[in-house]
Structure 1
C-alpha cells in the first residue's frame, strides 16, 4: 500500500509545516496500530494553528474535529466543534486566514459539532449555516428533553456537572436529499444519510478528492447502538459507507479521530466498517426471523474478531452488543418476547420477592460477591442490583453494589458501558458513605488510574 503524500502548506500562513508533519506522522502511527488516539483526544494538537492535510485544506484536531476549506472566495467550515473549543477554533481559523467564513456545514446536530459558530457570527459578514432539514427537529427535541439528555450524558461521560444546552445555532439553509453548495473554486456535494443520526450529511469535495464523513466514521465501532440515545440506522449506514468508499477519495477527514490519507486506506477503512455493520444486521435479522427472544439473539450473534482488531474498529465508544439491541428496537419494537416483561411489576417489588425467597437481601449480596470473585460479572450485577432494590437503605448492601459495578466498569472497553457502570458504583458508594456522586466518581477514577 502506497504511503499518503506529505502535508501541503496552507495558504495564508495557517499551520507550520513541522507541526503538520508531526501530527500526520502521529496519525500514520495510529493507522498502523502503533499508537492510540489518546494524545488526539487529550487536546495535545488543539493549538492556535490548523493542521495542513491537503491542498487548500486545514484540519482542527479536537474531541470533535473541524475542517476548513479555502475556496478562493472565503472559507467553508465543515462542523464547528463544541462550545468548549469555540475560542480555540476561531483563533486557529484566523491565524490561517482573514477571509470571511461564507458557510458552516453541520454534518449533524450533535452538540459537540454545532457549538462553535458563535465567534464567527459576531464577525461581519457572518456565515450561513447549512444542514439537512431534520437538524431543526433535533434541536427542538433537545430543548424538550434537556433534562433527560443532561442526566444521560452525565452518566455516559462521567461528568456530574455537565449542563445540557437549550439554545442552538439554527441553520439558514436546509436541504432534504442532496444539495450542491458552490463557493469560490470548490463545490461541496452534500448527501443526506441516515446512520448514527437521522439528520446526517456526508460532504464530498470533488476538486480536492476530499471526503468529510462526519460521524459516519469515528475510528471505533460505529456509534450505532448507544443505549441512552435515539434510534440509529445501521443498515442504511453500511450502504452509505459502501457508497463513500466508491468515491475515490484521497483524503478522509472524520468528525472524530485522525485523518486517513490514501485511497487504499480509505477504501479499506470504510469497507471494513460497512462489513461489521452488515454482519450484525444479517445475523440479527436471521435470528429474529427464527423467532428467538432478544436475550437469545444478543448471545448468539458472533462478532468477527478480526474486524474488531483493526485500529479503527475497536469497541472503545460503542459496542456490537448494543448495536444488536438497537436493531431489535428498529425492526421489532421494544418487547423482548419475555412475557413477564410485557407488563412487569415494579423492579423493587420483584427484587423484594427474590430476596424473600433467598432468605434476605443480604443473601443476594453475599452471592453477588461470590460471583464477582468467580469472574461472573454479569450475574453478579443482577444479584447486587436486586439486593440493593430490595434493601435500599442498607449501607452494607450499597457497598456491595458499588464494589460489583466498580469491578464491572474496570473490565469494560467502551465509553458507554464504562460510564454507566461507573455511575452506578458511584451512586451506591455515595449512599453508603454519605458523600456525593462527583466525589465517588473522582475516587473511582483515581483507583482505576492507579491500577493502570
Structure 2
C-alpha cells in the first residue's frame, strides 16, 4: 500500500514532479489516510469515513470502477454505507452508485441516503438531452475509439454517456447543509467552479476537507473547450474558504491527499492565486476594449505557477481558461466583426485556396510550417491544412497532410484536452486519406 501522504509531502515540499500517472492512479487500491478515514484511488477517488453508525462516502467513481471500489472498501470494513455525498454530478463521481445500492439490496441493508446540491438532478436531465453530444466529446477527449461505450473499459456497446440509469440524490440543498452520522459531523457547502452543482465538505472531527474537483493535482479544469461554462474566480473563492478552516487533511477527488496545515494552506493559496491572476489580467484587457484574440495571445501565466507539481497543464491549460473567462463575462462575440455573421468555413477555405494558387499550395505551406516545428508555426500550419481539407473534402493528399500536421501537433502538446482534439482530427483524416495507421 502506497504512503500517499508521504508522497504528496515529498512532491510539494521539494517541487518534485514525476508524472501525472504517479499522482492520479485509478487502481481501486484503498489507503487508510487517518484512523477511520480511507481514500480509494479510482477515476474519481472515493473517500470513506467510519462514523460508528455507517460509512459516509464522498463520490462513487465511474460506473466501471464501482465493483472494484466496493471490493476494496469491503477489505477495509464491513460497516454498511449510510450516506453517499456527490461532490458534483459528473459521471466519474456518481457512476458507481449502483454498485452500493445493489449491495444494500442484496444484504437486506438500509439503502444509503444520497446527498447532493440541488443542481445535480438538472445536470442529469441535461445529460439525457445531450447524450449523443456528450458521448462524442468525451470519446474525443479521452479515447481514440468513438464506438466504445464510455466507462465500459473497452467493451463495445451503445453510444451512451454516463451510467444507466443516473442515480438521483434523495436529499438536496442550496447553500449549506449539515448532517451527523454516528459521532461525526459533516458540513456541506455549495460553491461553483468546475460546475454549478459542486460541494465541498468540512469534517471538523478530522479537521479534514473533502474538496471534490476543486483540487485535482493538475491545472484547474476551468477552461475545458468542449464543456459548459466554468467559473474560475468563484473557484478561487471556494479554495480560500476551505483554507479559512485551517484544515490538517485535504482529501481530493483526483490526485494525492495532503496533510499538514501549512502545506495545505500553501497549495490552496497557490491554486487560487493562479486562477485570480488569469481572471484579473483578462478582465483588465476586456475593460480596455481588447478582442478575445488579444487576450488569448497576450495573457501569460507566470511560469512559477505551473512549476508546481499540482498545477501541471496536463489536462486543462491556462489558454482555455481565458476563453471561458471571456464567455462568462463577455458572451460569444469575440470582437472580430468578420466573425459576427461569418461565411461558411468551407467557402472561406475555397477562397483561400484560390488566392494561394490551389489546395496543393496550401498543403505545401502547411507542411513547411509544421516542419519548422515552433509553436507559432504549428498554429499557422493547422489553419492552412484545415483550409485545404475543407476546400476539397475528397482530396486524399490534403487529408494525408492534415493527418500528419495534427499528429505532429498532438505530440507537441501537454494537455490531454489538446491531445484528444488533435488526435481526433488526425485519425479522421487518416481514414479519408487511405492511410489509416494513426
Using the alignment, how far apart are the partners of 1:65 and 1:156 within structure 2?
20
C-alpha contact 2:43 2:65 (8 A) present in aligned 1: no
- Equivalent residue number for residue 35 of structure 2: 55
- Equivalent residue number for residue 46 of structure 1: 28
- Equivalent residue number for residue 286 of structure 2: 288
Residue 301 of structure 2, aligned match among 296, 300, 303: 303
Q: Is 2:96 the counterpart of 1:116?
A: yes
Using the alignment, how far apart are the partners of 1:362 and 1:42 within structure 2?
46
SS of match in other structure, 1:187: strand
- Equivalent residue number for residue 148 of structure 1: 133
Using the alignment, how far apart are the partners of 2:33 and 2:382 within structure 1?
47
Superposed, which structure 2 residues align to 1:28-427 within 5 Å? 28-31=9-12, 32=14, 33-43=16-26, 45-47=27-29, 50-122=30-102, 123=104, 124-160=109-145, 161=148, 162=150, 163-165=160-162, 167-375=165-373, 376-427=377-428
Deviating beyond 2 angstroms after TM superposition, the runs of 4 or more aligned structure 1 residues are 23-32, 34-37, 39-43
Shift of 1:59: 0.7
C-alpha contact 1:235 1:278 (8 A) present in aligned 2: yes
Shift of 1:432: 0.8
SS of match in other structure, 1:77: strand
Using the alignment, how far apart are the partners of 1:367 and 1:404 within structure 2?
11
SS of match in other structure, 1:314: coil
Q: Which has the higher mean CA deviation after the structures are superposed, 29-38 or 121-130?
A: 29-38
Shift of 1:434: 6.3
- Equivalent residue number for residue 156 of structure 2: none
C-alpha contact 1:40 1:63 (8 A) present in aligned 2: no
Deviations, residues 149-169 of structure 1 (Å, cap 9, x unaligned): 011011111242234135201
Using the alignment, how far apart are the partners of 2:233 and 2:24 within structure 1?
29
C-alpha contact 2:25 2:41 (8 A) present in aligned 1: no
Using the alignment, how far apart are the partners of 2:429 and 2:360 within structure 1?
15
Deviations, residues 326-367 of structure 1 (Å, cap 9, x unaligned): 000000000001111111111001100110111101110100
Using the alignment, how far apart are the partners of 1:74 and 1:395 within structure 2?
62
- Equivalent residue number for residue 27 of structure 1: 8
Shift of 1:407: 0.6
Using the alignment, how far apart are the partners of 2:316 and 2:20 within structure 1?
16
Shift of 1:300: 1.0
Using the alignment, how far apart are the partners of 1:30 and 1:306 within structure 2?
15
Unaligned 5+ segments in structure 2 are 151-159
Using the alignment, how far apart are the partners of 2:75 and 2:300 within structure 1?
49
TM-score normalised by L of structure 2: 0.92
C-alpha contact 1:109 1:135 (8 A) present in aligned 2: yes
Using the alignment, how far apart are the partners of 2:167 and 2:198 within structure 1?
16
Q: Which has the higher mean CA deviation after the structures are superposed, 158-167 or 211-220?
A: 158-167
Shift of 1:304: 1.2
C-alpha contact 2:203 2:209 (8 A) present in aligned 1: yes
TM-score normalised by L of structure 1: 0.89
SS of match in other structure, 2:19: coil
C-alpha contact 2:192 2:234 (8 A) present in aligned 1: yes
SS of match in other structure, 2:402: helix
